[in-house]
Structure 1
């Protein structure tokens, strides 16, 4: 009966949604009671309460090799959100979206269920090329990234943006790190310059022992505009049956004990032997919450790799034993009371020196390409979606970085009005920009009457 009530509520939510019309920069979003998540010290907060990520990685259809956007699939969201609710999660991670699509129906239904989104801004066609990063860090790539920010910045349940996923994927390609960090800096500056609320930006690191922690230090060193807002790791070292010491998670916590920004697991859930999610109890225990803010289980749907919690067949998603184990683990594991050992300060790390494991000669970052810098005032405009020509081979002398950035170059000095492209000296809040939750139609009518929409 409870499941039927949830489905009925979600169906009503989807039926009430209409397609939004407008540019990606100015489109208002429906009102919601979801409290945006913020960063303070080394933790996330929902209002004044510590926020722990309890979630799953969500990429239905990802196993077929064709990029898909699950947040644009309202029928898929209607099918899957009741299972999210049953699991008791509060966050999903999505790896790919179409930044030309409308996402109101699914994002509003997720918000109604109290579920936040961690979103990768790269797509297979628009991403850094780890084999030759300099030409791929160009304004065409950044335009797509910025357009994705435009598409999701005004949803209050957008928890965070990821500037990359496993771009460094072995011990010998750390030379791409400055371009990942520059992209992170550019995303933070774009969010501030466009007047959006301060949505956290960070990176998802591969499970590579040689450089995962070095990358963490690198993403948290330098000036504030260069530092990541958080860091996340993909970790599969706890394989049931195991424990805090056998898995090496005790060493993991010790290694990050003085880390100054929030840290969470963007993927976890080893499938060796049994998969009963014993690690959930450890992840949300005081042994770990002074350093980690939870994590995301890989992954929701079965995509041919045996990691799936459900099997999808059309409009039906059938849970398996792993789903039941995770549901039980979450249910039996409350969050710690109070702040869970979180730190209130946010010290920068020391940039790692060049070494055999870290092929970065100094702390310099590439300057943002000139055409991409112009988007700070003008806005990125319409994105390329999932079928554009791509950016990795699109670098030219006109759209690539042409020098080294000076420290502090990513600091927000002006805030552009998202509706007009003009600049003001102070940022407007997201609530002011959307007119306190007016619909698109009301906003457009207001613009006709008043001559302009004050966002």
Structure 2
């Protein structure tokens, strides 16, 4: 009886500490009926990246996965919580390792995780547009592992996939990925987790890209939120001189949540983060749902808010860089954006029209999207990946080695998925739009093993050039 009482108490404690899930209604985020604003931070050094927004930070601890070292996550979560962070964005993870400890560390600190489904070698590429079953299977692995955590705020379908003015032909592939991942989520009966896109701030594509990704007759093919990576507010800029007034005008009446997924220009000297007063002020807060500050850890660009005693490994207790750390803390405490109750919010917004082709936009309206083979798609849905159990220790000084050993134990759990995807290595298919889609990877290895073998070197290369 005593043991039962103890177990019941532990269960009740876990339930009580769980964060309410994030949902989308109209152009706003909600959690437990309360409007939710992001305040965040980007963390992207070579060996450790972090992104927190919605009062959040971008967070990536190692190139392969930042969410594997529980002790380090606890240290970072505490420091982020101290300045008011309520979200982190993580770029890439390894679905073959356990993440329970780190996800709990951030949940205990009241922090949501906004996670990219792609990796450096599975992302949609604007110069070689494709959306293949191998990419879909890799995205599905990440969704399978993380959908069960209540503090997953949302998934990113891509980050700056389109990063030049001529990159708009890739947009239908981003939208196809969104549609298929939404269908997968529904087929697996997962909770409805918002899926969004993080865009480079390219003037020639405004507002066509944000409108295209949200347009259409059904939300099944559209993103649920839009993030903009913008560094327009620099130094002593104002709402008018920074260009924020133009961004506000283009976002006015947008039918889904929009926020700054990277921001925080640094022109040298003390950073005051006055752009936050505008983003969370009366002129923008009715439209925008927050921001992510670039960045958490100090690098040679001097954008960081903390340093680490471990040098390039970024381990140990983070030390705030002053006065910038305190400046952001002060600004975030001072802002008080108007919030609505979900029950009192009855949006009448409609999806934007799909933009026609123009000098700055190559996609003509609501074109048919690239498609995946239904038979193989259904097999992948039936062969979801089982997350590995927790590691034997809560902290690892060598996360790469621990990741490899865990992966060797659990290759059998994805055998069914490998058998479905590997025969597709020679497949070339054409979607209803006539777009030719070829597989992303070309070798005799099963795709999941290809992803594992390419994952670390590509992550390191991508982190170096980021």
Distance 2:61 2:84 in 1: 29
Pick which of 170-179 and 307-316 moved more.
307-316
CA spacing shift, 1:99–1:59, aligned 2, 3 Å: farther
Q: For residues 397 and 101 of structure 1, do their structure 2 counterparts lie closer, same or farther at Cα, with a shift above 3 Å needed?
A: closer
- Residue in 2 that maps onto 1:78: 74
> Where in structure 2 are the equivalents of 1:45-60 lying within 5 Å?
45-59=30-44
**Separation in 2, partners of 1:150, 1:98:** 12
Distance 1:333 1:138, change over 3 A: same
Residue pair 1:182, 1:368 contacting (<8 A) in 2 also? no
Match of 2:369 in 1: 365
Distance 1:400 1:160 in 2: 32
CA distance in 2, matches of 1:220, 1:400: 29
2:208 matched to 1:206? no
Cα distance in 2 between the residues matched to 1:86 and 1:65: 19
- Superimposed CA distance per residue, residues 363-412 of structure 1 (whole angstroms, 9 cap, x where no aligned partner): 22111244652256404326999999xxxxx9967655432279xxxxxx
The residue number in structure 1 matching 2:439 is none
Between the aligned partners of 1:380 and 1:284, the Cα distance in structure 2 is 40
Distance 1:109 1:66, change over 3 A: closer
Instruction: Give the distance between the partners of 2:115 and 2:22, measured in 1 at CA.
Output: 14
Instruction: Give 5+ residue unaligned stretches, structure 1.
Output: 1-15, 17-29, 389-393, 407-455
Tell me what 1:354 maps to.
357
Q: Distance in 1 between matches of 2:152 and 2:362?
A: 34
1:14-67 deviation digits (Å, cap 9, x = unpaired)? xx9xxxxxxxxxxxxx64431001100100001211100112124452489972
Map of 2:263 onto structure 1 = 268
For the residues of structure 1 that align with 2:253 and 2:207, how far apart are their CA atoms? 12
Pair 1:110-2:100 in alignment: no
Describe how 1:276-315 pairs up with structure 2 within 5 A: 276-312=272-308, 313=310, 314-315=315-316
Where does the alignment leave 5 or more consecutive residues of structure 2 unmatched? 1-9, 50-59, 389-399, 408-421, 435-466
> Which residue does 1:184 correspond to in 2?
178
Greater mean alpha carbon deviation, residues 232-241 or residues 265-274? 265-274
TM normalised by structure 2 equals 0.74
More helix by share: 2
Q: CA RMSD in A?
A: 3.0
Deviation at 1:343, TM superposition (A): 6.5
2-side partners of 1:342 and 1:399: how far apart? 48
TM-score, normalising length: structure 1: 0.75
Structure 2 Cα separation of the partners of residues 399 and 153 of structure 1: 30
Distance 1:118 1:149, change over 3 A: same
CA contact (8 A) 1:138 1:369 kept: no
**Cα distance change of structure 1 residues 379 and 285 upon mapping to structure 2, 3 Å threshold:** farther
Say whether residues 1:403 and 2:431 are aligned partners: yes
Give the equivalent residue in structure 2 for 1:381.
385
Aligned partners of 1:372 and 1:317: how far apart in 2?
A: 46
- Counterparts of 1:399 and 1:198, CA distance in 2: 32
Distance change >3 Å, CA 67–CA 337, structure 1 → 2? closer
Q: Secondary structure at the match of 1:144?
A: helix
Work out which of the residue numbers 307, 332, 335 in structure 2 matches 1:333: 335
- 1:345 aligned partner: 348
Distance 1:98 1:156, change over 3 A: same
The match for 2:246 among 240, 245, 251 is: 251
Cα gap change, 1:169 to 1:67, in 2 (>3 Å): same
Return closer, same or farther for 1:87/1:198 CA change in 2, 3 Å cut-off.
Answer: same
Alignment partners' CA distance in 2, 1:96 and 1:72: 12
Instruction: Provide the C-alpha distance between the structure 2 equivalents of 1:247 and 1:289, rounded to a whole number of angstroms.
Output: 17
**How big is the shift at 1:197?**
0.8
Distance 1:242 1:109, change over 3 A: same
